Chain A
């Protein structure tokens, strides 16, 4: 089946630093990738939709300059949390899609802890 790899799985860093999270589709080409944020014991909140070769579409309330998304190839999307602060600590999950209206394939998620 379709596999999505997310890296790193856990990162701890100091406040003010930038953190990059990678999302790769390993055995299929992902026309679209999604980035979600999940707070403890809550549902997934869609942050942005990323299409290869074009700018990401951000959901309302998500800061574009804070969460930079790059989808440079059909198998890789990156999320960079810039100048991270403790309130950015969360679980970030990516998913990938090869065709519209098909099920999304999810990565394992990245736990981000900002000290």
Chain B
């Protein structure tokens, strides 16, 4: 069965510190992985997806099939990065998305 695990409910870092939000998945096929962000009182927004291999707002994420991980990283956190971050998996060929439980990132001044 498909599963997305985000082990940290809350991650607090100081401004300028590196940040890594962990995401592990289990899926027998070829998944597509996404990171969504939800700022306070706003809708979920796509942050990035693994197939595009791009950096958005300084964030990057690499799909590691050996470790079945898709961790989100940023070298220098900013206060405006404070938000809820959700890792999501789309099973190839299907329409469903499976979301992790989310990690709240709190960047302190």
- A residues neighboring B (CB under 8 Å): 32, 34, 42-44, 46, 49, 93, 95, 97, 100-101, 103-109
- Chain A residues whose C-beta falls within 8 Å of the C-beta of B45 in the assembled complex: 106
A106 to B97 Cα, complex, angstroms: 12
Closest residue of chain A to B92 (Cβ to Cβ) is A101
- Mark out the residues of chain B between 59 and 109 whose CB falls within 8 Å of any chain A CB in the assembled complex: 86, 90, 92-102
Asked if A104 meets B100 with Cβ closer than 8 Å, knowing A43-B86, A44-B86, the reply is no
- Chain B residues whose C-beta falls within 8 Å of the C-beta of A43 in the assembled complex: 86, 99-102
Whether, in the assembled complex, B25 has its beta carbon less than 8 Å from a beta carbon of chain A, the answer is: no
- Chain A residues whose C-beta falls within 8 Å of the C-beta of B98 in the assembled complex: 46
Can you name 13 A-B pairs with beta carbons within 8 Å?
Answer: A42-B102, A43-B102, A44-B44, A49-B96, A100-B94, A101-B93, A101-B94, A101-B95, A106-B43, A106-B44, A106-B45, A107-B43, A109-B43
A100 to B102 Cα, complex, angstroms: 23
A49 touches B95 (CB 8 A): yes
- Chain A residues whose C-beta falls within 8 Å of the C-beta of B36 in the assembled complex: 106
The distance from the CB of A28 to the nearest CB of chain B, in whole angstroms, is 14
Chain B residues touching A, range? 20 to 34
Chain B 14-53 interface mask (CB, 8 Å, partner A; 1/0)? 0000000000000000001010100000111110010000
A68 to B98 Cα, complex, angstroms: 22
A103 touches B34 (CB 8 A): yes
A46 to B100 Cα, complex, angstroms: 12
Partner of A42, one of B44, B49, B101: B101
Closest residue of chain A to B94 (Cβ to Cβ) is A100
A73 to B46 Cα, complex, angstroms: 25
- Chain B residues whose C-beta falls within 8 Å of the C-beta of A44 in the assembled complex: 44, 86, 99
- Chain B residues whose C-beta falls within 8 Å of the C-beta of A104 in the assembled complex: 46, 97
